[in-house]
Amino acid sequence: MIRKAKVIDGKKIHQLLLDGSKKGELLPRSLNEIYDNIRDYFVLFEGEELVGVSALHICWEDLAEVRSLMVREDKRRHKYGSRLLMACLDEAKELGLKKIFALTYQVEFFKKFSFQEIDKRELPHKIWSDCIKCSKFPDCDEVAVIKLLY
């Protein structure tokens, strides 16, 4: 079941993202940052277990970012990542956003949903505030992908 995250989910989200960041699959997020942005998150549960998470973060009047898309390793291959991404895309459309992007190592996954690779320098400078916190900055090896919604 996918639903919007609740405050009570914060620690579980943090742990799942921490596990993924230790493997180099995504950026770490502090517990404080998760609580600050809890309304951005979608969670996917199997029973009482959190098995996946994604976030839609609004960047500008027409632009949002898919962040923290993570499925527990033992639960991959169940299309949970696809369902979490679709939740973000659906919400972006409901909000009237025109573009949605991600910085990712999973380019082929996003291409299945009509995302296109772009040069990161095409993205607004505002999005780089998270990058400054990253241990890979300024030598980022993530790929920028974008999808036009309208």
CATH of the domain at 22: 3.40.630.30
Domain span holding position 7? 2-148
Q: Is the pLDDT of residue 126 over 60?
A: no
Q: Is the pLDDT of residue 150 over 60?
A: yes
Would you place residue 27 in the very low, low, confident or very high pLDDT band (cuts 50, 70, 90)? confident
Domains: count for the chain: 1
Distance CA 22, CA 150 (A): 36
Please give the pLDDT value at position 136: 60
Measured in degrees and rounded to the nearest 5, phi and psi for residue 42 equal: -110, 145
Q: Beta strand 63-71 with 99-104: parallel, antiparallel or unpaired?
A: parallel
